[in-house]
Structure 1
Amino acid sequence: MSQEVPQGSQNEEVDLGHLFNMIGRLFDRVYNFFKSIFKSVLSALVYVLKAIVDNYIIIFGSMIIAAAVGYGLEKTRKDVYLSKMLVKPYFDSKFQLVANIDYYNALIGEKDNKQLMSIFDIDEESAKQIIEFEIHPGPENENDQIKQYDEFLRSIDSLRAQEVSFESFIENRSIYSGDVFEISVKSHKKDIFRSLEEGLNSTFSNAYSAKKMKKRDSILKIEKNRIIASLKEVDSLKKVYIDIKREESQSDRKSFSTQDGFTYIEQRTETKEYELIEKQIKLQQELSALEAQKVEEDEFFDTLSSFPEVGSKYVDIRERYSIIFPILIFVLLSFLYLSKKLIQYVKSYEV
Structure 2
Amino acid sequence: MSKDLPQSNPSEEVDLGQLFKLIGNMFERLFKFIGSVFNKLFLAFVWCVFFLKKHFVKFVIAGVVGIALGILLEKTSEPVYKSYITVKQNYPTGENLYNAISYYNDLIAQKDISTLENVLGMQQHELSSIIEFEIESIISENQKLKEYNNYLKTLDSTVATTVEYESFLKNDRDYNHQYQQITIKAKQRNSFKPAFSRIIDNIKENEYFKNEQEKDLKELSNKVDYIKEALIKSESLQNTYKRVLEKTINNKTGSEIGITFEGANDKEKTREYDLYKNDLELRQELVEFERDINDKEHIIEITSSKQDSGSIDNRKEIFGKSISSKIYYAFILLVLTFLILSGLEFIKFLERFKDKI
Determine if the TM-score, normalized by the shorter chain, exceeds 0.5: yes
- In structure 2, the CA distance between the partners of 1:60 and 1:140, relative to structure 1 (3 Å rule), is closer
C-alpha distance in 2 between matches for 1:46 and 1:240: 93
Contact in 2 for aligned 1:135/1:181 (Cα 8 Å)? yes
Q: CA deviation at 1:122?
A: 1.9
Q: Spell out the pairing of 1:179-198 with structure 2 (5 A cutoff).
A: 179-198=178-197
Q: What is the number of equivalent residue pairs in this alignment? A: 299
Which residue of structure 2 lines up, in the alignment, with residue 289 of structure 1? 288
Structure 1 residue 201 corresponds to structure 2 residue 200 = yes
Q: Which runs of 4+ in 1 moved over 6 A?
A: 37-40, 59-74, 266-269
- In structure 2, the CA distance between the partners of 1:312 and 1:245, relative to structure 1 (3 Å rule), is same
Q: Spell out the pairing of 1:292-307 with structure 2 (5 A cutoff).
A: 292-307=291-306
- In structure 2, the CA distance between the partners of 1:99 and 1:151, relative to structure 1 (3 Å rule), is farther
SS in 1 for 2:128: helix
Which residue of structure 2 lines up, in the alignment, with residue 10 of structure 1? none
Unaligned runs of 5+ in 1: 1-29, 255-265
Scaled by the length of structure 2, the TM-score of the pair is 0.66
Larger radius of gyration: 1
C-alpha distance in 1 between matches for 2:115 and 2:85: 22
Contact in 1 for aligned 2:80/2:186 (Cα 8 Å)? yes
Which residue of structure 2 lines up, in the alignment, with residue 235 of structure 1? 235
Q: What are the Cα deviations for residues 184-213 of structure 1, in whole angstroms up to 9, with x where unaligned?
A: 222212334434321222143122222222
C-alpha distance in 2 between matches for 1:284 and 1:184: 41
Which residue of structure 1 lines up, in the alignment, with residue 213 of structure 2? 213
| Partner amino acid, structure 2, of 1:189 | Q
Scaled by the length of structure 1, the TM-score of the pair is 0.67
| RMSD value, Cα | 4.4
Contact in 2 for aligned 1:82/1:313 (Cα 8 Å)? yes
Q: CA deviation at 1:172?
A: 4.1
- In structure 2, the CA distance between the partners of 1:289 and 1:77, relative to structure 1 (3 Å rule), is same
Which residue of structure 2 lines up, in the alignment, with residue 83 of structure 1? 83
C-alpha distance in 1 between matches for 2:245 and 2:63: 100
Q: Spell out the pairing of 1:200-279 with structure 2 (5 A cutoff).
A: 200-205=199-204, 206-248=206-248, 253=252, 272-279=271-278
SS in 1 for 2:188: coil
- Report percent identity of matched pairs: 26
Q: CA deviation at 1:47?
A: 11
- In structure 2, the CA distance between the partners of 1:74 and 1:335, relative to structure 1 (3 Å rule), is farther
Q: CA deviation at 1:141?
A: 4.1
- In structure 2, the CA distance between the partners of 1:267 and 1:44, relative to structure 1 (3 Å rule), is closer
C-alpha distance in 2 between matches for 1:298 and 1:214: 9
Q: Spell out the pairing of 1:7-156 with structure 2 (5 A cutoff).
A: 41=46, 45=50, 49=54, 77-142=77-142, 144-155=143-154
C-alpha distance in 1 between matches for 2:95 and 2:294: 23
- In structure 2, the CA distance between the partners of 1:198 and 1:242, relative to structure 1 (3 Å rule), is same
Q: CA deviation at 1:80?
A: 2.1
Contact in 2 for aligned 1:191/1:311 (Cα 8 Å)? no
Q: CA deviation at 1:302?
A: 3.1
- In structure 2, the CA distance between the partners of 1:331 and 1:176, relative to structure 1 (3 Å rule), is closer
Q: CA deviation at 1:138?
A: 0.3
- In structure 2, the CA distance between the partners of 1:296 and 1:177, relative to structure 1 (3 Å rule), is closer
Unaligned runs of 5+ in 2: 1-34, 261-269, 319-324
